[in-house]
Amino acid sequence: MADGQLPLDGMPRRLLQAAPSRLATYLDCPRRYRFSYLDSPSPPKGPPWGHNSLGAAVHTALANWWKLPLQERTVARSGALLDAAWLLDGYRDARQRDAAKARAREMVERYVADVDPRDEPIGVERTVALKTDHAALFGRVDRIDDRGSEGLVIVDYKTGRHVLSVDDARTSLALAVYAAGAERTLRKRCRRVELHHLPTGAVVAWEHTDEGLTRHLRRADSIAAEIAELDERYKSGVESAEADAMYPTNVSALCGWCDFNRSCVAGSAAVPPRHPWAGLDEP
Ligand code: SF4
């Protein structure tokens, strides 16, 4: 159904406003989704994660580097920007924090050394958006390159330990939504998505076909439709047992990384919370 059409009952349908992370949270664990997006007040979260602090600082440094005038986009400036963006939360102690900072600075400097500062991106931390039948999807893209006849390219920086494969780029719902959203927002074809892994310097890329991108969007739409229906029922007021049944727990190894582990009886009983620094490379 195209934008502006009405569903069969003639009532305008309210679209679920969602970043891809909202859909992904629901797929990972419906209970975590409810804790994150619906419960008010939301249950208390665990402490901040060290790997999130590191990732946020690297992203901020790279974004700010591209915002500098061309002549100031040097390797040395990238290191200074990392220092300025550094966040202190989530580390075991000052020693671990300092070691992580040195690693992050090295990551940023090495990455920037391989970049041509004249390759002006068309977007840095740019918000893109599009609508499907049931969702108004949006997302903030780390970087969007305009590579001429190749079209727009989505660049997503990764700072985690996980070694990436082409499948990570191909199957990512978020990257597909960004590509479709960039095409709609910037009015230029966008099919290529790239994951830039800062710790190794590896770039994995995927070129979506029209059909592939459409499949991703259909999937996003169908998840959004399911969520929207559940959320509407939940907001109309349900007993706590019914709410728990509507948003069941999905206990897995991921519970150790869940912000709400301490508030989730099933999850914490099965998997204790990880240390805030457990996602860092260093012990
Ligand atoms: S601890 Fe596990 S089961 Fe509980 S909300 Fe988090 S992810 Fe879901």
What's residue 281's pLDDT?
78
Atom of ligand 1 nearest to the CA of 31: 5
Atom of ligand 1 nearest to the CA of 268: 1
How far, in Å, is the centroid of ligand 1 from the Cα of 260? 7
Residue 9's pLDDT band (cuts 50, 70, 90):
low
Residue 6 has pLDDT above 70, yes or no: no
Residues 96-148: pLDDT tens digits?
A: 999 999 999 999 999 999 999 999 999 999 999 999 999 999 999 999 999 99
How far, in Å, is the centroid of ligand 1 from the Cα of 267? 5
Residue 173's pLDDT band (cuts 50, 70, 90):
very high
How much is the mean pLDDT over the chain? 93
How far, in Å, is the centroid of ligand 1 from the Cα of 259? 8
User: Is beta strand 152-158 parallel, antiparallel or unpaired with respect to 135-146?
Assistant: antiparallel
Q: Which of these, 213, 212, 194, lies nearest to 204 by C-alpha position?
A: 194
Residue 7 has pLDDT above 90, yes or no: no
CB atoms within 10 A of CB 171: 12
Query: Which uninterrupted H or E stretch holds 23?
Result: helix 20-28
Residue 12's pLDDT band (cuts 50, 70, 90):
low
How far, in Å, is the centroid of ligand 1 from the Cα of 145? 37
Residues with CB under 6 A from ligand 1: 29, 31-32, 35, 249-251, 254-255, 258, 260-261, 264, 266-267
Atom 2 of ligand 1, nearest CA residue: 255
Residue 222 has pLDDT above 60, yes or no: yes
pTM (global) more than 0.85: yes
How far, in Å, is the centroid of ligand 1 from the Cα of 250? 6
Q: Across residues 41-58, what is the average pLDDT?
A: 96
Residues 6+ apart with CB under 8 A from 101: 82, 83, 86
